[in-house]
Amino acid sequence: MSRETVLSVRNLDKVFRAGGLFRAAADTRAVADVSFDLHAGETLAIVGESGSGKSTTARLAMRLLDPSSGRVFWKGEDVTGLNARALRPKRSHIQMVFQDPFASLNPRMKIWHTVAEGLRVHRPELSRAARRDRVAETLRLCGLDESAMDRYPHQFSGGQRQRIGIARALIVEPQVLVLDEPVSALDVSVQAQILNLLKDIQQQRGLSYLFISHDLSVVRHVADRISVMFGGHVVEQGRAADVFSAPRHPYTEALLEARPIAHPAARMDSRPPKGADEGLARSGCSFRPRCVYARDACTGFDNRLRDDVVACLYPLPAEPSARD
C-alpha cells in the first residue's frame, strides 16, 4: 500500500539574478529541474557538496524562497503561488531545524518564549499557562528538563541548543521537518545523540524528514532514500542501501570515495576523485570536467534523470561485481 505524500516538488528551478555592483556577472541557476516526493514517516536525504543546490532546494520546498519555475505541494495542495499571508496558517505543516544552534536562537529571549513562538501564531486561543505546559512537554520529549524554560541560550551547550531548536520546530506539531545540516556544527559524540533523538521522535510521531547534508557517514544512518545533487541538478536518486552499495553516477562514486576512512589499510587503497579541482561545464553534462568516464557524447547531455535513477549517459553498473 502506498504511503501518503506529505511534500512534493515538481520541476523546480531557481535563478538568482545578478544585479547591483555585479551587473556584469552572469545569473546563477542554483536549482535546475528538481523533482521529488516525500512520504509519510520516511527520511529523504539530499546530499552534495557545498554549492550543489541542496539547501536552496530545501528553502524552495519550505516556500522560504520563491521558485523561478516549478511547483511545490504540501499534502497535495499547490502552495507555489500563495503569498506570505496566505502561507502563514499553513506553515505548521512543515518546520525547519537550522544548521547552527548558536545563531538560530535569540540570545535575549528565554527558552520558553522562543519555543512558544509558533503557538502564539498557530494556537492563539491557548492561555499563557497552557503554552508553558506545551513547551515543558515538548522540551521533555527532546531530552531537556523543565527547568530549562526560564534560562537563556548562552547557558546551554551546542547539543542542548540544538535540542531546543528541535523543540521549537515540533511545538506546532508539523508533519514534515526540514533538517538543514542539523549536526554538522556539533561534536561527533553529540551528533550521535541528536541523530538518535531525531529517530526516536520520528517513530513516536510518524514525522517525515527532509535531511540536508554533505556528510554521507551521517546520511547512511538516517536516510530511507537519497537524492544526490551536483551543480543544481539531481544526478542520482534511490533507496539509501542501493546508493551506498552500488552508486550509478560517477559523482556519487566520488563522494563515497571521499568519505573519511578510519582503518589505515583502507586509507592506503582510497584515492581522491580525479579532477576534483575543476568547475562546472557550461553546457552538456555539468560534471563532465571532473568525470573520469567522460566521452564526447557527454557534451550534448541534458542532465536529466534516466529511468528516474541516474543522470548519466554512461552510468556505472548496477551490480558492484560488474565493475571488476
- pLDDT per residue over 236-245, tens digit each? 999 999 999 9
Tell me: the pLDDT tens digits for 23-60?
A: 556 788 999 999 999 999 999 999 999 999 999 999 99
Tell me: the pLDDT tens digits for 289-315?
A: 999 999 999 999 999 999 999 999 999
pLDDT value, residue 21: 58
pLDDT value, residue 324: 52
Residue 101 shares a structural domain with residue 49: yes
Residue 191 shares a structural domain with residue 323: no
Residue where one domain finishes, among candidates 219, 245, 271: 245
Residue 227 shares a structural domain with residue 252: no
**What is the average per-residue pLDDT within 200-208?**
96
pLDDT value, residue 257: 86
Tell me: the pLDDT tens digits for 122-132?
A: 999 999 999 99
Residue 214 shares a structural domain with residue 258: no
Helix, strand, coil percent values for the chain (each to nearest 5): 40, 20, 40
Residue 195 shares a structural domain with residue 324: no
Give pTM, 2 decimals. 0.90
Reduce the DSSP state of residue 41 to 3 states and report it. Answer: coil
Residue where one domain finishes, among candidates 217, 245, 273: 245
Residue 294 shares a structural domain with residue 178: no
Q: Which is nearest to 41 in space by CA: 241, 168, 175, 166?
A: 175
Residue 209 shares a structural domain with residue 309: no
Residue 267 shares a structural domain with residue 194: no
pLDDT value, residue 66: 96
Residue 109 shares a structural domain with residue 229: yes
Confidence of residue 217 (pLDDT cuts 50, 70, 90): confident
Residue 202 shares a structural domain with residue 321: no
Query: Which of 225-229, 281-285, 317-321 shows the lowest per-residue confidence on average (mean pLDDT)?
Result: 317-321
Residue 277 has pLDDT above 50, yes or no: no
Provide the domain count of the chain: 2
CB-CB contact of 116 with 135 (8 Å): yes
**What is the average per-residue pLDDT within 81-106?**
93
Query: Which of 25-29, 212-216, 261-265, 277-281 shows the lowest per-residue confidence on average (mean pLDDT)?
Result: 261-265
Residue 1 has pLDDT above 70, yes or no: no
**What is the average per-residue pLDDT within 269-290?**
66
Residue where one domain finishes, among candidates 245, 277, 307: 245
**What is the average per-residue pLDDT within 188-215?**
95
pLDDT value, residue 115: 96
Residue 217 shares a structural domain with residue 252: no
pLDDT value, residue 260: 65
pLDDT value, residue 144: 96
Domain residue limits at 286: 246-324
Residue 176 shares a structural domain with residue 280: no
Percent of the chain with pLDDT over 70: 89
pLDDT value, residue 26: 75
- CA–CA separation, 174 and 179 (whole Å): 13
Q: Residue 288 is placed in which grid cell?
A: 563532465
Tell me: the pLDDT tens digits for 139-178?
A: 999 999 999 999 999 999 999 999 999 999 999 999 999 9
- CA–CA separation, 214 and 296 (whole Å): 30
Percent of the chain with pLDDT over 90: 77
Q: Residue 287 is placed in which grid cell?
A: 560534471
- CA–CA separation, 243 and 260 (whole Å): 18
CATH of residue 30 = 3.40.50.300
pLDDT value, residue 275: 45
Average pLDDT over all residues of the chain: 89
> Which stretches does DSSP call E strand in the chain?
5-16, 28-39, 43-47, 69-74, 77-78, 94-97, 176-180, 208-213, 225-230, 233-239
